[in-house]
Chain A
């Protein structure tokens, strides 16, 4: 018997019941698939599903696997994308700014020194509102060290970019797809950084559910430029602007962030309704807030590690709760205050420092506590710089010390 029967012929040869099975099999291709993949692969998969038309990127550890995976996809014809192998990160951002203003959906990714070298144009994209999506694989700065901390992304918290911090590979994939819809929303129209911790996520495999292309297409329509470089309608972008013009532009950027504050949860909800999992919250709460003696706040994988701390301490009869900020810009102050008001103590863990002051997250939360006259015992701790390992037990020790000190 010929071994090259089509599925249909094979099904018919096996009778009616099998035919139903085959039909289901064919349909299952339209359903989500679950794969074991690294954070870098999750970024590349999300980018592919989002159909960027121009990608420009320069490799840097630990982002490398993202650009390698994407250039492979483009070379194999799996993506209809112009891939520009630029000679630096500065040029990567330059190219996506040009490509975005020429009317295409754009994507790049970087890390650490790459982000710093790109810096001038990261600000250019922020201030002139270029809706590019850029995962940043968080990595420490000099002297040479490839391990994770948040110093790189934190250096750009003021640059006019929306910033997400993901806790696992699934969230990396989901947030990257959402990032395009958020960046390109005409009432937001600004660049988005999706931060993921180097190695802990980028190089560690975990189970990731991948939505079908059809369902992502239904969620994310094709790129619709707000303004485009077009010989039929000439205009100058980024030209010399006086003080009043800059003032007007900056106020409009502030408005854009206020819009984003409202629209991000709506877009996350739409994603969750159409695709699943993600949830529409800006701050993830893990643990019983009503019973908690202390709340722990952290970004990215430190936030996920703290979730283990909650479980670990509950066995010792210490009640804690984690508030993990998923979005750092716009700063979700309303949600934050309503949560902090419900706990007696707050421990904020930063994986970066504003040298000469304190951790960025701690500084910003303290400002909100003061502005809203929130009565909470406030503690801060800097952990995990330069990739120093931080376990749930390390975080538990910090909480226990706080409770002991009193």
Chain B
């Protein structure tokens, strides 16, 4: 599937001006690109930065129907919407738009149930590696070594592989994408929208406020996460993994940029010891190896 640039230029404005997003917000870019690719979306948002950036009631910066719901209730509420719209015979696309807290951690059981039932939902997880909404605490998605307000000396554990957990549910479509490669993201969303059942898209979404990085380089960080092998790009369909054209060359460590190029641009990795960097590099290679087994 190939999406042409003019098609992307022509998409509807789903995130309006006056929203509360920080400068250089990665999730805003992910939201605009993803939601604008969908037919008549209804978006469910649990507690996360997206529940805040929409502005204060009664103003709303989202130009699509939005249900804000409790942290661990995104996929259950979306299940209700999808079934209700089916019952009413309305043509809509039900979406879960969650951060990594809602997907990796507190909301894991609700999406696992919905995925097992294969509810007709597209679940997006914009992954900024921590709880950004509450001011930068560790999450299951935080990489080893990263400083957060609850891991002041750097996280001691490796990052959870949510895509592989999701893959164990044998849902029809899984993809990863980065805001450094918007055409790739847009194409994957379009592809997901043509499939029925539970679909999952994990988006690497830098957060300059929490990562202590320059807001101007957010897209660049999105590219670097792919080029350094930090964030592999792939799709899983019918149990088979395919590394994406944009990222497949970084499967071979020789082609990757040095991980330091990614880490040095972010304050959260400033105090990393060389030992921690080595452990992080091992974690990343382990993930590539595990993913390769699904090819």
Contacts and interface: CB of A to CB of B under 8 A. Distances in A.
B42 A86 contact: no
Contact of B83 (A54, A230, A235, A238): A54
A316 interface: no
Contacts of A96: 80
Interface in B118-162: none
A349 interface: no
Nearest to B39: A231
A236 B109 contact: no
Interface stretch (B49-57, B248-256, B261-269): B49-57
A97 B80 contact: yes
B112 A231 contact: no
Contacts of A240: 51-52, 54-57, 68
Interface in A204-263: 229-231, 233-242, 245
B54 to A, nearest CB: 6
Contacts of B41: 231
Given A234-B65, A236-B66, A86 B76 contact: yes
A96 B75 CA distance: 12
Contacts of A230: 65
A182 B67 CA distance: 24
Interface string A70-91: 0000000000011011111011
A102 B68 contact: no
Interface in B56-113: 56-58, 60, 62-70, 72-81, 83-88, 92, 109-110, 112-113
A382 B130 CA distance: 49
Nearest to B77: A98
Nearest to A249: B57
Contacts of B64: 231, 234
Nearest to A53: B87
A82, A94, A233, A235: which has the most chain B beta carbons within 10 Å?
A94
A104 B73 contact: no
Contacts, number: 164
Contact of A95 (B51, B54, B66, B76): B76
A88 B113 contact: yes
Contacts of A81: 87
A352 interface: no
Nearest to A83: B83
Contacts of B85: 102-103
B84 A82 contact: yes
B80 A56 contact: yes
Interface string B21-39: 0000000000000000000
A54 B80 contact: yes
A169 interface: no
B60 A84 contact: no
Nearest to B68: A238
Contacts of A368: none
Interface string A289-319: 0000000000000000000000000000000
A17 B88 CA distance: 48
A104 B87 contact: yes
A99 interface: yes
Nearest to A237: B67
Contact of B70 (A99, A124, A242): A124
Given A54-B80, A229-B81, A245-B57, A238 B69 contact: yes
B11 interface: no
Contacts of A241: 56-57
A102 B73 contact: no
A231 B117 contact: no
A236 B80 contact: no
Nearest to B58: A245
B57, B81, B84, B87: which has the most chain A beta carbons within 10 Å?
B84
A120 interface: yes
Interface residues of A, number: 43
B66 A102 contact: no
A104 B88 CA distance: 8
Contacts of A151: none
Given A94-B110, A99-B84, A242-B56, A236 B68 contact: yes
B70 to A, nearest CB: 5
A289 B41 CA distance: 60
A230 B85 CA distance: 10
Contact of A98 (B51, B54, B79): B79
Contacts of A242: 56-57
A229 B95 CA distance: 12
Contacts of B83: 54, 82, 84, 95, 99
A84 B81 CA distance: 11
B77 A231 contact: no
Interface in A42-76: 53-54, 56
A103 B51 CA distance: 22
B110 A235 contact: no
A200 interface: no
Nearest to B44: A98
B40 interface: yes
A53 B81 CA distance: 12
A86 B114 CA distance: 8
B72 A95 contact: no
Contacts of A136: none
A384 B1 CA distance: 67
B52 A124 contact: no
19 contacts: A84-B79, A85-B117, A90-B72, A94-B80, A95-B79, A95-B83, A98-B67, A99-B84, A124-B70, A124-B73, A230-B65, A234-B65, A234-B66, A236-B57, A236-B65, A237-B66, A239-B54, A239-B55, A240-B54
Given A90-B76, A100-B80, A239-B66, 16 more contacts: A82-B87, A84-B83, A94-B75, A96-B80, A97-B73, A97-B80, A98-B81, A102-B42, A120-B73, A124-B70, A229-B42, A234-B66, A236-B66, A236-B67, A239-B68, A240-B54
The 6 closest A-B pairs by CB, nearest first: A98-B80, A94-B76, A87-B113, A99-B80, A102-B84, A91-B76
